Amino acid sequence: MRGSDERTMRVERGQEMAGRIKHGGCGRARQLFFGLNSFFQRPLRPARLAVMVAVAAIALLLGALFFGYSSNLYEDWRERRLLHRATALLEEGELGEATQASQELLRQHPDSLPALHILADAAERQNLEEAVSWREQIARQLPNDVESQLNLASAALRFGKLDVARGALDRVPSSDRDRAAFHVVAGWLARAQGNFAEQEEQFAAAVSKEPKNDLYQFNLAALQIHSGDPEKNTKARDTLQRLSQVTPYRAGALRALLNDAVARNDRTAADNFAQQLQMSPEITFGDYLLCLNFYRKLDQKKFRLVLDRVKPFAARDPSNLASLIDWMNQNGLAGDVVKWIDKLPQSQLGSTQTSVAVADAYASTKNWSRLKRWTSTGIWGDSDYLRLAYQAIATRQSRSRSGTPNTEFETLWHSAEKLASEQPERELALARLASKWEFENESEELWQRVAENPPMRREALEELRRLYRGKDETAKLYDILRRLHETSPNEAPITADLARLGLNLGENTERSHQLAKEAYDRTPNEVNCAVTYAFSLSRLGRSADALPIIQNLPPDQLHDPHAAVYVALLLAEAGQVESARDYIAAADDEKIYPEEEKLLDEAKTKLVIAFATPSPAVSPLPADLSPTPMALPR
């Protein structure tokens, strides 16, 4: 009983305590409510109202600041996270995911330089042209940063955007143009423009700035190994020999040395380099073709053995098979190609590259019936325009002896042009094919279109130059030379050609005289430039100044028929009858250009006058000059 009473008392006390807490809480709430109510019901004084407004404003401001600060913290954290992830993915080689992460970051911050750098690096590693666009955005944000401009120029050169590359280099301040890196990029731009003389100058300048840089040494040596200057050639050979022992440059150095040895007919050295190249871990299928080139030129017996070993190896891969057939076509072995492909299963000849190479073999062997059959079937894919072009060639060549209009050729060729239209690479391939088969009208139109594309402009202008020179269309030739000069203004031989033709045609004579002097000042020992400047001085009435320029040139080089015309004219003006006759004879029986024929007639007339009234000889040129011709660049 006692335990039961105690429990009852504890319950009653707990209920009493709960009641007190409940009623006590309600009492405090009522007190607070009535207190607030009385506060608001009391009349507000202006000072009290101002304090309340100020407190509320401060509270709102602090809340907004806190919210904004928290939001910025989150955005900064998210940006750092995305950037860290993109960087890590780039380093791991996950280029697609790195690009996605960087693009997400760029959507939030369109001017994010770190994101742009990652996008540019990823695009370059994937060989995507969009790398140029990313580099342009970086360079736009950092206009005074030399590295950004050089990176843009390099990317633009990689994808053939020469105008963009030139603009980037032009934006580099003059004070920063003597850096090695600038000279290297400027050298590659010169090469893309076909200006090999300037390329050599720029590479040499880079080496002089950083003589211990192996990459710069390699670039210069690979260029100068082809130099006609014995000193440069020897130095380049020594450099490449050294670099052939340095892993990153081994294969490249051996290729250059092998080509040089073949050019010099040094069979022992060529065989040594070929053996080293074939044992190199970096060997490519193109290197096997390079070795074939050596053996074909210097060791016919070994060439056939090596070729027979390479054929089955090439047949396993469509790309290698097409490369070998192309090489054989270009080296006069198209007949061997036709015999070989007859033994190959059709399954190995089904690729697009191989279809084109086989068609070229049939065309080279003038097997028009088989060419027609070949181009009527097969898998040509994106090269279907070439299928139509080879069909057109077969049609034209097989009917060329009939003398009847060939409308089928025109239909097929126009269809090929239509498929190639507005696609520079296709138009270039079609233009080369038209030139190879001497389709003058078709090639002229195509080369004119190709010339609008900067990376292909030099080749197109050179082809148009050859075409117009062959047809003696001097007005068109002058325009092409002008465009070549605009493309490569520092290339002295082109400048001299433009100046000389301008003087002969009476086009922009004042400017032509200026160009003649510019070319001579740049390369005074180059025959083309020296002869042109001497001719310019002669036309300005300064024959006395012109003659010493000619006298300082190697006599054997002046007997080239084209150069001999100008030398004969200068000597006739100086009254050096016997020497002038020698040069007139050097040009008289040779094919020279129409404008040069007029000059030769002028020289003969002056010679007649000089013979009638002889004058004292003034430092005559040797009469027994070597008859060995050296072509004057045109």
For residues 240 and 255, is the Cβ–Cβ distance under 8 A? no
Q: Where are the alpha helices (DSSP H) in 126-229?
A: 130-141, 146-158, 162-170, 180-192, 196-209, 214-224
- Name the DSSP class of 225: T
Region of residue 617 (phi > 0: left; psi between -120 and 50: alpha; otherwise: beta) = beta
Looking at residue 55, what is its pLDDT? 60
Sign of CA dihedral 124, 125, 128, 133: negative
What confidence tens digit (pLDDT) does each residue in 567-576 have?
A: 999 999 888 8
Does residue 596 lie in a domain region? yes
The answer to whether residue 598 is domain-embedded is yes
pLDDT digits (tens, 9 = 90+) for 15-24: 443 344 334 4
The span from the first CA to the last CA of the chain, in angstroms, equals 134
**Which of 50-59, 268-277, 298-307 has the least mean pLDDT?**
50-59
Query: What does the pLDDT read at residue 490?
Result: 82
Which has more pLDDT, 297 or 89? 297
Domain extent, residue 528, equals: 517-612
The answer to whether position 529 is within a domain reads yes
Please choose, from the candidates 472, 477, 468, the residue with its C-alpha nearest in 3D space to the C-alpha of residue 443.
468
Domain assignment present for 608 = yes
Q: Would you say residue 376 lies in a domain?
A: no
**In the predicted model, is pLDDT for residue 619 greater than 80?**
no
Highest mean pLDDT of the ranges 70-74, 599-603, 626-630: 599-603
pLDDT classification of 540: cutoffs 50, 70, 90 = very high
pLDDT for the residue numbered 256: 96
| Domain tally, the chain | 1
Percent of all residues in the chain with a pLDDT value above 90, rounded to a whole number: 58
In the prediction, which pLDDT does 620 show?
46
- 569 Cβ contact list (under 8 Å, min separation 6): 535, 538, 599, 600, 602, 603, 606
What local confidence, expressed as pLDDT, does residue 18 receive?
Answer: 37
Helix (H) or strand (E) holding 234: helix 230-243
Query: How does pLDDT run across 214-252, given as a tens digit for each residue?
Result: 999 999 999 999 988 889 999 999 999 999 999 999 999
Which DSSP string corresponds to 239-295? HHHHHTTSGGGHHHHHHHHHHHHHHTT-HHHHHHHHHHHHH-TT--HHHHHHHHHHH
pLDDT mean over 155-174: 92
408 pLDDT more than 70: yes
Neighbours of 406 (CB within 10 A): 18
- Distance between CA atoms of residues 365 and 379, nearest Å: 22
pLDDT of residue 488: 84
Chain-centroid distance of CA 574 in Å reads: 48
Quote the distance between the C-alpha of residue 258 and its chain's center. 25
Is residue 568 domain-resident?
Answer: yes
* 31 occurs within a structural domain: no
What confidence tens digit (pLDDT) does each residue in 460-507 have?
999 999 999 999 999 999 999 999 998 888 889 999 999 999 999 998
CB 277, CB 283: distance < 8 Å: yes
- Identify the pLDDT of residue 51: 61
Within a domain: residue 240?
no
Q: Which residues contact 219 (CB under 8 A, 6 or more apart)?
A: 184, 187, 203, 206
Alpha carbon 325 to chain centroid, angstroms: 26
Q: Is the pLDDT of residue 521 over 80?
A: yes
For 517-533, what is the mean pLDDT? 94
Q: Which residue has the higher pLDDT, 83 or 248?
A: 248
For residue 487, the model assigns a pLDDT of: 83
| pLDDT at residue 602 tops 80 | yes
The answer to whether the beta carbons of residues 393 and 400 sit under 8 Å apart is no
280 in Cβ contact with 254 (< 8 Å): yes
Residue 174's Cβ-count burial label (10 Å; 0-12, 13-18, 19+) is exposed
Confidence of residue 69 (pLDDT cuts 50, 70, 90): very low
Q: Are 515 and 491 in contact (CB under 8 A)?
A: no
Residue 401's pLDDT is what? 56
DSSP string, 434-448: HHHTT-HHHHHHHHH
> What mean pLDDT value characterizes the chain?
84
Share of the chain above pLDDT 70, in %: 82
Q: What is the pLDDT of residues 318-342, one digit of tens each?
A: 999 999 999 999 999 999 999 999 9
pLDDT digits (tens, 9 = 90+) for 430-466: 999 999 999 999 999 999 999 998 888 999 999 999 9
Quick check: pTM over 0.85? no
CATH of the domain at 540: 1.25.40
